[in-house]
Amino acid sequence: MNCFCRIIFACFSLLVCLSFTGCSVNRFIPDGEHMLNHVSVKSDKDELKTAPLSGYVSQHPNNEWFSLVKVPLYIYSLSGRDSTRRFNRFLRRLGEPPVIYDSTLSHKTRLNIRNAVQNMGYLNAEVDLLEVTKGNRIGVRYYVMPHQRYRVNELRRDIQDSAISRDLTEGDYVSLLQENMNFDLNVLDAERNRLNTYLQNRGYYKFNKDFVRFEADTTVGNHQVDLKMILREYSAGKSGGVRPHQRYTIGKITYDIPLSHNKPFVRPKVIASATELAEGNLYREQDVQGSYSRLNRLGAVQSGRVSLTENPEDSTKLDALITVTPGKRNSFNVELEGTNSAGDLGVAVAFSYQNRNLFRGSELLSLKARGAFEAIKGLRGYSDQNFIEYSFEAGITFPDFICPFLKQSFRKRALATSELSFMFDSQDRPEFHRRVLTTSWRYKWTRASRRMQHRIDLLDINYVFMPWISDTFKERYLENPESRNAILRYNYENLFIVKWGYSFFYSSQSLNSTSKNYGTNAYIVRASVETAGNLLYGISSASKAPRNEDGQYTLFKNTYAQYVKGDFDFSKSFMINNANSLAIHLGLGIAYPYGNSHILPYEKRYFSGGANSVRGWTVRELGPGSFLGNDGKIDFINQTGDLKLDMNIEYRTHLFWKFDGAVFIDAGNIWTLRDYQEQPGGQFRFDTFWRQIAVAYGLGIRLNFNYFILRLDGGMKAVHPAYEDSRRHFPIIHPDFKRDFSFHFAVGLPF
């Protein structure tokens, strides 16, 4: 029996043993009481979805790992009755005590479910509570009989304020209420909230949803309702009388900005630009909230506040006081890390500095210096056996669009930054020395809801140059006719990459949300496109510039890359219950070199395997296609491609304390668009690619601190596209732990 089979057998044996601990649970169930074993909500009508009703259940049974086994309960039951013993206390903290059934909570749940269903318009709904006992265990079922749903027969609106009536009639407001709609109290409440938001964004500062109420007549028969919406005039209290609602405009705006060295710590113009209120404009609540968002995102500001008061001379105006509190201006950070690259151990240290108010305009200056050392083993024919890298990064982020052509209205709608960055990286390996110089100018912006983000890399210049390549490396891989590798050689030449790009991010859950990473029904879409070399190629072609010996145009005697690249990424999670969720992911990417390039730069090529891809393979170990690598020191170049496909499904469960678990299945691969001699079997073909999709499965443990997650994943190969014989092609049937297992450590979820 190989190692993998022994692990599977051990896990199975553990589950069997835990299942037999059920008898030991009994000693923690008081006499005459019952342990809640399971809870379900059912309905006799398919049209009524019962999944949302589970949220009204007041008492839930013990957690089940992967919705199968109550492992925390069984761990708790392994402890003895003596709670003074340290080991028993440890098991109890690790596990979960049995949930003792409380009949008062079940009756409360029954009433809550009935009220919720009645609020949906099933006014005659009934809910039966069924209790099934077996020994000292009990199962509870809430059986919903909704009966016929009521519909709105006649809809009337009584708007007692004539100005508001005109606003709603002549404006762009679209009501949720229609005749013949399902009668639903949730829709009525949503209408009240929408009216409140709509009117508060049109000057009605003192309006609130309590001024809207509904009257429903259910006596008209045949399960119909006559509905009347009443919007009352403004009431200032018992002695204030009744009058029309007042529409307000913004009066005087003043700023309270603390001083630093006898000057405002941040320029008043910056605070004014971050304020969406404007004198003479109608009051809008969204402008107030937008001002809060803009003020609090300024790095120089710890907090901002907007205070509104009625103007003493003109009761139709609201004066605004904008108060800001200075934040911490400077910060330093030191990072120390250990590295392990295929057994080669190393160490890296990084120093960073940030100034959040560089020119008193809340500009963010970031400086970072990093150095790394790695002892390389197994290289022969090279005088030096160490890898040394040092880099320096500098960047300035401006809290707005730095662009003279944008309209002010667009600037006000978007929360934007403009970023200028520089980076120099030096790598000295035994085989070669590599230098990378990068500079970029980009814009990032989002809207107030913060669900959607945009990024434009207006200009991104990368210059890669190789000041030295060892003679041994040249003779073996770059100049030897028998091992001459075009892909390898291209990536060890001096190269310019001048690109433009756009990326898009959307989350169905607001980025301001504080929800945990597990158990949400959110989905995320990422998309990007970039292109390089087109402008340079056009200028070179128009000016009839000379080409080099390979037929390529050059810039300062160095070739430049020309390609187009697009990526799409979709992920979604499905909440099963509070402890379990299912997540799916699809990733697609394609890049095509053309014009001045026949091969993609290495930095732009795709790779497969690793902690966020097909986890049965290590990074850059899979593909392209059915290509099988055989020289790890060179195949990190060959095992890259122009097209990538990733498909993942992962079941996530809460285990105990901060620990979560996962089981996953991954599938995917990379391919080349051209048939390269160095990558046999790597070209994408519609009639064969599906047979080249690799599959892996595995288990994961996550330490979930909400604000960050430490992840350990172990993946096993299931289908290996590089082999044709069934024994090697389907390692899921003939597993070999040493050959087929990959271990991954990462920060954050894989998707």
Q: What percent of the chain has pLDDT over 70?
A: 90
Min mean pLDDT across 63-77, 121-135, 546-560 is at 63-77
Within 13 Å, how many C-alpha atoms sit on residue 147's CB side? 12
Q: Average pLDDT of the chain?
A: 89
To 10 degrees, what angle do helices 185-200 and 162-170 make?
100
User: What's the pLDDT score for residue 684?
Assistant: 94
Count CB neighbours of 318 within 10 A. Answer: 21
- Residue 518: the pLDDT is 43
How far apart CA 722 and CA 695 sit, in angstroms, is 12
**pLDDT beyond 80 at 47:** yes
**Is 297 found in the same domain as 205?**
no
Residue 226, in any domain of the structure: yes
pLDDT of residue 319: 97
Whether residues 225 and 256 fall in one domain: no
Q: What is the pLDDT of residues 310-353, one digit of tens each?
A: 999 999 999 999 999 999 999 999 998 876 565 567 789 999 99
Structural domain count, the chain: 4
pLDDT at 450 over 80: no
Mean pLDDT of 722-750: 89
Domain assignment present for residue 364? The answer is no
**Where is average pLDDT lowest: 49-63, 381-395, 589-603?**
381-395
For residues 398 and 659, what is the distance between their CA atoms, to the nearest angstrom?
Answer: 40
270 membership: H or E segment, kind and range:
helix 268-274
Q: What is the CATH number of the domain that holds 171?
A: 3.10.20.310
**Beta-strand runs (E) in 429-544:** 432-446, 452-469, 495-507, 523-532
Q: What is the DSSP string of 181-234?
A: PBP-HHHHHHHHHHHHHHHHTTT-TT--GGGEEEEEE-TTSTTEEEEEEEEPPE
Structural domain of 666: 605-751
User: Is residue 691 domain-resident?
Assistant: yes
Q: Are 432 and 416 in contact (CB under 8 A)?
A: no
Stretch 91-111: mean pLDDT, rounded? 93
For residue 378, name the pLDDT band (cuts at 50, 70, 90).
low
The pLDDT value recorded for residue 2 is 52
User: How many angstroms separate the CA atoms of 310 and 33, rounded?
Assistant: 62
Closest to 704 in 3D by CA, of 581, 619, 609: 581
What mean pLDDT do residues 582-594 have?
96
List phi, psi (to 5°) of 695: -130, 140
Between the two ends of the chain, the Cα-to-Cα distance in Å is 35
Distance of CA 175 to the CA centre of its chain: 33
Query: Higher-confidence residue: 620 or 437?
Result: 437
For the chain, the 3-state helix, strand and coil shares in percent, each to the nearest 5, are 20, 40, 40
Backbone angles phi, psi at 458, to 5 degrees: -65, -40
Q: What single-letter DSSP state applies at residue 478?
A: I
The answer to whether position 90 is within a domain reads: yes
Give the residue from 243, 269, 304 where a domain finishes: 243
Please indicate, yes or no, if residue 698 is contained in any of the structural domains. yes
749 and 613 in a common domain: yes
Nearby residues of 604 by Cβ (< 8 Å), 6 or more positions away: 497, 561, 563, 565, 591
Provide the pLDDT for residue 190: 96
User: Are 610 and 743 contained in the same domain?
Assistant: yes
pTM for the full predicted model = 0.84
Residue in the block written with tokens 């020395």: 433
Which run of H or of E encompasses 551? Answer: none
pLDDT tens by residue, 520-572: 678 999 999 999 999 999 999 999 999 998 899 999 989 999 999 999 999 99
CA distances from 637 to 477, 478, 490, 631 (A): 12, 13, 10, 10
Q: How confident is the model at residue 239 (pLDDT cuts 50, 70, 90)?
A: low
In terms of domains, do 233 and 289 share one? no
| Residue with tokens 């004539």, as numbered in its chain | 162
| Within-domain flag for 529 | no
Q: Looking at the predicted structure, is the pLDDT value of residue 221 above 80?
A: yes
Output b/e per residue, 520-541; b: 16+ Cβ within 10 A.
bebbbebebebbbbbebbeebe
Rounded mean pLDDT, 436-450? 87
Do 641 and 699 reside in the same domain of the chain?
Answer: yes
pLDDT (0 to 100) of residue 470: 87
Number of neighbours of residue 741 by Cβ within 10 angstroms? 19
Predicted local distance difference test score (pLDDT) of residue 734: 87
Residues with Cβ within 8 Å of 84's Cβ and at least 6 positions away in sequence, in order, are none
> Last residue of a domain, which of 243, 258, 281?
243
Q: Are residues 120 and 223 in the same domain?
A: no
Are residues 314 and 181 part of one domain?
A: no
Q: Would you say residue 42 has pLDDT above 80? A: yes
Greater model confidence, 626 or 22: 626
The tokens for 421 are 């960055």
User: Do 625 and 734 fall into the same domain?
Assistant: yes
Radius of gyration of the chain (CA): 33
Q: Which of 186-195, 621-630, 649-658 has the highest mean pLDDT?
A: 186-195
**pLDDT tens digits for 271-300?**
999 999 999 999 999 999 999 989 999 999
Residue 130 lies in a domain: yes
pLDDT at 655: 86
Q: Which residue has the higher pLDDT, 634 or 38?
A: 38
- Residue 553 is classified by DSSP as B
One domain for residues 60 and 192: no
Q: Say how far apart CA 600 and CA 564 lie, in whole Å.
A: 10
Residue 709 Cα to chain centre, angstroms: 13
Residue for token pair 């350990």: 712
- If asked whether residues 612 and 693 sit together in one domain, one would say yes
One domain, residues 141 and 195? no
